[in-house]
């Protein structure tokens, strides 16, 4: 980190060629505006009480602004730019007294940021460690230095931008897989290609072939079970145990996800009642139930949940409702209304599979979630190097800033557990 203007002739041509190739591979300059990046700049303005925050990506001659909060900026020349300073330094750059650096002051006047006296800029890197852009905070009030923890927060937000770039690739791969409904699991490998049909699902529901399995959630600091997640399975009398990926997509397509979802919610409430009767100590456990996009299209969902709680005599703290971001996207207005009505009931609201949606950060900032669940695809890659660990670190830090608890999904090895233990100090409450 520097406190003075930098010479930018240290940028090596060979590295610049590789950097431009990495930038082109992302396609970031050709994309439509995305709310997730706006969420990052908006959070940065609020957190740092900044005049303006710019998120820009640079080609060979210009810095193109992907998102801004505060002063509107579209693009500006790379020559003598802050981006070139970050690139030359290969790291953060900070100027605490812009007036003493005429070349920087001139650049800011070009951007109409004439009231700014201080800035801090950090690189946005690709997963191959190429600097593709910069996240820059401009402040009007004089500041002699930026606290190290604040600078780490700015770097964490920049890493979240990098994560969004990587998620673009993951989403494309995920979309390709979703285009072909899985048929090759061991339970159904020998099934006809037209199985199951909607009538098979209806028969399974009528004959009570669906069951819930409960996966424990453990608080990292105490190692105590604090909750359980209800996972649906289909126990077919002839085909064995069918995983949800082999029937939930069909249920969503044909509309049977509503009765199946209602059954799952009722069955979970029944189980809570049974456990509490057997041992009053179980009153503190929370059972989490996944809700589908179609369930969120119902304005009466909160009334239905309240009726179930009254019927089975359970409290709101004993029930948590999970939803994926994709379930919120079809109708954001209705989703927000439903979430607010559920929040008034007092049940916990969890965003599941965080990081796999199209504008996760924007929705996370807008909707009243209590808990953020880190998708298992990130946890599974924790041991692959520093970048996956940094993604998880950044997500946890973002949740802390927003006052949310964190659940990490899919921990299967001791190494993953120990890596997550290193991050537990970042979270209000950390569950695995």
d(CA 4, CA 119): 11
Q: Measuring CA to CA, which residue among 226, 170, 221, 157 is closest to residue 393? A: 157
How far apart CA 66 and CA 377 sit, in angstroms, is: 27
Sequence spans of domains, the chain: 13-176, 194-369
pTM over 0.75: no
Q: What is the predicted pLDDT for the residue at 210?
A: 96
For the domain spanning 194-369, the CATH number is 3.20.20.450
Reported as a pLDDT band with limits 50, 70 and 90, residue 330 is low
User: How far apart, in whole angstroms, are the C-alpha atoms of residue 385 and residue 120?
Assistant: 27
Flag whether pLDDT at 2 surpasses 70.
no
Range in 30-34, 49-53, 66-70, 115-119 the model is least confident about: 30-34
Q: Which of 50, 51, 49, 118 is nearest to 82 (CA)?
A: 118
pLDDT of residue 312: 93
Q: What would the mean pLDDT of 87-100 be, rounded to a whole number? A: 85
Give me the architecture of the 13-176 domain, per CATH: 2-Layer Sandwich (3.30)
More confident residue, 208 or 394: 208
Lowest mean pLDDT among 9-13, 54-58, 183-187, 259-263: 183-187
User: Residue 260 in contact with residue 205, Cβ under 8 Å?
Assistant: yes
């Amino acid at each position: 980190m520097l406190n003075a203007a930098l010479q930018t002739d240290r940028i090596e041509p060979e590295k610049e060629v590789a950097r431009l190739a990495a930038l082109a591979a992302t396609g970031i300059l050709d994309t439509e505006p995305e709310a997730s990046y706006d969420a990052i700049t908006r959070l940065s303005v609020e957190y740092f009480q900044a005049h303006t925050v710019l998120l820009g990506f640079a080609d060979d001659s210009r810095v193109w602004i992907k998102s801004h909060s505060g002063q509107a900026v579209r693009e500006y020349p790379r020559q003598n730019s802050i981006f070139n300073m970050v690139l030359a330094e290969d790291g953060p750059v900070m100027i605490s007294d812009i007036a003493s650096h005429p070349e920087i002051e001139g650049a800011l006047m070009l951007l109409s940021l004439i009231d700014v006296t201080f800035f801090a800029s950090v690189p946005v890197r690709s997963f191959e460690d190429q600097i593709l852009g910069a996240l820059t905070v401009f402040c009007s009030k004089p500041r002699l230095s930026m606290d190290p923890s604040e600078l780490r927060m700015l770097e964490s937000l920049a890493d979240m931008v990098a994560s969004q770039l990587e998620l673009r690739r993951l989403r494309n791969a995920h979309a390709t897989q979703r285009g072909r409904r899985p048929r090759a699991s061991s339970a159904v490998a020998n099934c006809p290609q037209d199985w199951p049909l909607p009538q098979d699902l209806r028969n399974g529901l009528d004959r009570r072939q669906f069951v819930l399995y409960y996966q424990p959630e453990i608080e990292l600091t105490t190692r105590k079970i604090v909750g359980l997640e209800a996972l649906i399975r289909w126990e077919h009398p002839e085909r064995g145990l069918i995983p949800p990926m082999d029937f939930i997509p069909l249920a969503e397509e044909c509309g049977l996800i509503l009765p199946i979802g209602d059954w799952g919610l009722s069955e979970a409430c029944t189980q809570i009642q049974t456990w509490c009767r057997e041992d009053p100590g179980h009153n503190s456990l929370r059972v989490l139930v996944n809700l589908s996009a179609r369930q969120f299209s119902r304005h009466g969902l909160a009334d239905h949940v309240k009726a179930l709680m009254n019927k089975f005599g359970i409290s709101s703290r004993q029930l948590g409702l999970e939803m994926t971001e994709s379930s919120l996207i079809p109708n954001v207005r209705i989703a927000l209304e439903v979430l607010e009505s559920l929040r008034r009931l007092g049940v916990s609201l969890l965003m599941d599979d965080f990081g796999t949606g199209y504008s996760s950060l924007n929705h996370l900032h807008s909707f009243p979630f209590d808990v953020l669940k880190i998708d298992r695809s990130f946890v599974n890659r924790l041991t692959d190097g520093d970048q996956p660990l940094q993604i998880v670190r950044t997500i946890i830090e973002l949740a802390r800033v927003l006052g949310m608890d964190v659940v990490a999904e899919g921990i299967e090895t001791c190494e993953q557990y120990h890596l997550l233990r290193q991050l537990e100090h970042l979270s209000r409450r950390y569950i695995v």
